[in-house]
Amino acid sequence: MDLFSVEFFSALLTIVFIDLILAGDNAIVIGLAARNLPKEQQKKAVIWGTAGAVGIRVIATLLVVQLLNVPWLNLVGGLLLVWIAYKLLVQEDPHDGIKSGNTLWQSIRTIIIADAAMGIDNVIAVAGAAHGDTLLVVLGLIISVPVVVWGSTIFIKLINRFAWIVYLGSAVLAYTAAKMITHEKSFKAFFENPFYLWAFILLVVIITILAGLFTNYYRKKKHEQQKSSESL
């Protein structure tokens, strides 16, 4: 991928957006992990915990980028990313198990471990969007991590206020997943036809969004029925 090309910058923007959508609640994890520390140590916990988490994420993403050269792993990664895109629309609160640390090291360790556990979806998505370009992975993380750490609380408020941002994020993930699948070498001949390529990508995006909408509608109806039965 040529540096400074439209394709390069569109992929970079996709990676940054994916980072924001999937890592937007990292600030919550950081806040929960460091809340018991004295104020002068909280900043250190945030800086060193984030640095450790970013280091692990860069290494993990670069490993996944290399693994995607293995036959059928683009297909597996793409299908997994479709599931992640769906779960983004119907997610539950993932922070129940995050415990605060009583020492600086405990808080740093908690931030790194929690980020590693929560960052698996992010690693797969970024690796898929980068299409084997190491520079894209590193640049995307360098740009998005400061925004995630210092601006994600604002981003969370925006998501809570404007529900369509989550659906847009899910659509971007589904698009990235579909592109990953189309990059599978075994399907190369089939997807050389632009009609089949874009029809498949559009179908994956539509099915993912509709599945999320249907699940949320079903859950809402079920919740309303439970409330009405309890009030009787």
Could you report the per-residue pLDDT of 88-116, keeping only the tens digit for each? 888 655 555 555 566 778 777 877 777 76
39 found inside a domain = yes
- Rounded to the nearest angstrom, the gap between the alpha carbon of residue 155 and the centroid of all alpha carbons in its chain is 14
**Percent of the chain predicted with pLDDT > 90:** 16
Count structural domains, the chain.
1
Please state which of the ranges 21-30, 76-85, 102-111 shows the lowest mean pLDDT: 21-30
Three-state SS at 131:
coil
- Which ranges constitute the DSSP H helices of the chain? 6-23, 26-34, 39-67, 73-89, 104-118, 120-130, 134-161, 164-182, 188-191, 194-231
pLDDT in tens, 149-187: 665 556 656 766 787 888 888 898 899 899 989 988 889
CA angle 20–24–29, rounded 5-degree value: 145
115 found inside a domain = yes
**pLDDT surpassing 80 at residue 206:** yes
1 found inside a domain = no
Across 2-11, 122-131, 191-200, the highest mean pLDDT is recorded for: 191-200
Instruction: Kindly indicate the confidence band of residue 72, based on its pLDDT and cuts at 50, 70 and 90.
Output: confident
Tell me what pLDDT residue 181 has. Answer: 93
165 found inside a domain = yes
201 found inside a domain = yes
33 found inside a domain = yes
Which structural domain, as residue segments, surrounds residue 83?
6-231
pLDDT in tens, 44-69: 877 787 778 778 878 888 888 888 87
What pTM was computed for the model? Answer: 0.74
150 found inside a domain = yes
Instruction: Kindly indicate the confidence band of residue 213, based on its pLDDT and cuts at 50, 70 and 90.
Output: very high
Instruction: Kindly indicate the confidence band of residue 215, based on its pLDDT and cuts at 50, 70 and 90.
Output: very high
84 found inside a domain = yes
